[in-house]
Amino acid sequence: MALGRGLGDILQEVEEAYEKNLDGMESFELDSSGVQVEEIDINLIAPNPYQPRKNFDKNALKELSESIKKHGLLQPIVVIEKGDGYLLVAGERRLRAHKLANIPTIKSIVAEVDMDEFKLRELALIENIQRENLNAIELANSYAELIEVHNITHEELSKIVNKSRSQITNTLRLLSLSSNTREQIVAGKLSQGHAKVLIGLDAKDEKLIVDSIVGQKLSVRDTEKLVKKYKNKSTTSKKTKESLDILLEYKEEINKHLSLPHKIKSNKLEITFNNKKDIENFLKLLKNSTI
């Protein structure tokens, strides 16, 4: 699987142009690649509806906006013509910062290709993944969407986005976390390192540990120790329950053959001896028991 000839190839050529200093390229060189550079009214540019990136750091946008005011936009955004205007393909952060700077037009590369909704969504996902500007949950959602759209394996996706299969699998596992935990990751209160440690906990323990990480600003190492403690406790509780279940399975038989005062507590059978005769009767019962 890979992007076919079209906007994907043009974006690659644009990246190469950036590296060579796009401003220094002759217009015929850009035209030969199917690329035009224009100053476009920002009000004519619509965002890509399939943009997987949902969160933009306000301080970083402000810094970029100030830089654009001072130095101009060094890397044009990429758009395609759509109806009476344009549709943004790459550079939403740059476009947002440009609007913040109150500059009416923006330098744009107009790619002359036809894009259906399927291809537009694919490109938005891959472009963001390759630029590594998504948070861990957005990245996981992007991987999941590409897998669903193309009905491919983790191994096949790894070749498309140039990531290891294990990295993709580990990132996708973050989607098994609770909505609260995912929100904390998006908000930057939990790192991906923290999140990976939380996978596999039950919902109650997961929330308790997330609250501890956020409230006490625990490191990943401290979180690992805390999670290990909870997992050990969970394993012990599970074994205790299994033992109790076994005893309860034989409760009727125990009651039938054991006349002495007794009760099943946790994973234990407690017998009360009131006198010596009770003990003798119990020993006799053990010798003759068919249980």
Is residue 160 situated within a structural domain?
Answer: no
Q: Which residue has the higher pLDDT, 234 or 269?
A: 269
Encode pLDDT of 237-250 as tens digits: 555 555 556 666 66
Query: Given this model, what pLDDT does residue 72 score?
Result: 82
| pLDDT score for 74 | 76
Distance, in Å, from the CA atom of 230 to the CA atom of 209, rounded to the nearest integer, reads 9
Provide the phi-psi class of 188: left if phi over 0, else alpha when psi is between -120 and 50, else beta. left
Looking at the domain assignment, is residue 30 inside a domain?
Answer: yes
Residue 193 lies in a domain: yes
Share of the chain above pLDDT 70, in %: 68
Query: Residue 192's domain is classified under what CATH number?
Result: 1.10.10.2830
Residues 93 and 126 in one domain: yes
Owning domain of residue 273? 258-288
- 262-265 vs 85-90, strand pairing mode: unpaired
* Claim to verify: residue 13 and residue 125 sit in the same structural domain: yes
81 has pLDDT over 70: yes
Q: Structure tokens of 256?
A: 């039938």
pLDDT in tens, 14-39: 555 444 444 444 444 455 554 567 88
pLDDT for the residue numbered 290: 53
**Cβ 105 vs Cβ 70: under 8 Å:** no
Domain CATH code at residue 76: 3.90.1530.30
Contact at 8 Å (CB) between 79 and 105? no
Residues 225, 264, single domain; the answer is no
Is residue 110 located within the same domain as residue 220? no
Averaged pLDDT, 81-92: 82
Q: Based on the domain organization, do 280 and 196 belong to the same domain?
A: no
Residues 271 and 233 in one domain: no
Per-residue pLDDT, 1? 34
pLDDT at position 54, please? Answer: 64
Inter-CA distances, 235 with 204, 210, 225, 228, 241, Å: 15, 20, 15, 10, 10
pTM attached to this predicted model? 0.51
Same domain? For 203 and 284 the reply is: no
Q: Is residue 147 part of a domain?
A: no
Give 156-186 pLDDT, tens digit per residue.
Answer: 888 877 788 888 898 899 999 999 999 888 8
Of 131, 162, 194, the position where a domain reaches its end is 131
In a domain, residue 102? The reply is yes
Phi-psi domain of 72 (left: phi exceeds 0; alpha: psi -120 through 50; beta: other)? left
* Domain membership flag for residue 206: yes
- Residues 222, 273 within the same domain: no
Please report the pLDDT score of residue 25 as a whole number: 46
The arithmetic mean of pLDDT across residues 1-12, rounded, is 48
Is 40 part of a structural domain of the chain? yes
Q: Establish if 140 belongs to a structural domain.
A: no
Which residues 6+ apart lie within 8 Å of 222 measured at CB? Answer: none
Structural domain count of the chain: 3
List the catalytic residues.
92
> Are residues 96 and 58 part of one domain?
yes
Which of 104, 131, 158 finishes a domain? Answer: 131
If we measure between CA atoms, which residue out of 56, 125, 127, 134 comes closest to residue 97? 56
Same domain, 18 and 89: yes
On average, the pLDDT of the chain sits at: 75
Percent share of the chain, pLDDT over 90: 3
Give yes or no: residues 233 and 262 share one domain: no
Q: Do 41 and 122 lie in a common domain?
A: yes
